Amino acid sequence: MTLDECKQVVAKVQLGDNRQVDRLVIMEWFDTIGHLNAADAIAAVKMHRQESTDYLQMAHVIRNAVRVRAKRAIDSGPVYCRTHDFYPLPCDRCKEYPEEVSF
């Protein structure tokens, strides 16, 4: 995420608990969660609010962002070929033998 996107994430966090946010706080969040995708981080904050009354920490956001990514992968459908176990899609073997394709 960019610094501007991090400000949006922290603004959403602030909406949930009215915490004090200044430039230093945003820089600290950016240092810790800046590697995350911004949309994942926003979804991770929402997930925390839906599941917990605990004071939201940066580690919550990082942990939930992993779950957000995993859920998206599951929702987007099968990852492996149905015909050839453990061949990720698009399947190389189905390209070699197109008659085997069965989705």
Binding residues vs Zn ion (CB under 5 A): 81, 83-84, 91, 93-94
Which residue's Cβ lies closest to Zn ion? 91
DSSP H or E stretch at residue 36: none
Contact at 8 Å (CB) between 101 and 83?
yes
Which is nearer to Zn ion, 68 or 94 (by Cβ)? 94
The distance of closest approach from Cβ of residue 74 to Zn ion in the complex, given in angstroms and rounded to an integer, is: 20
> 88: which strand partners?
80
Q: How far is the CB of 102 from Zn ion (least distance, A)?
A: 9
Q: Which is nearer to Zn ion, 14 or 83 (CB)?
A: 83
Helix, strand, or coil (residue 88):
strand
In Å, what is the CA distance from 87 to each residue of 19, 79, 84, 90, 96? 47, 8, 6, 8, 13
CB of 91 to Zn ion, least distance (A): 3
Residue number, 55 or 103, with CB nearest to Zn ion: 103
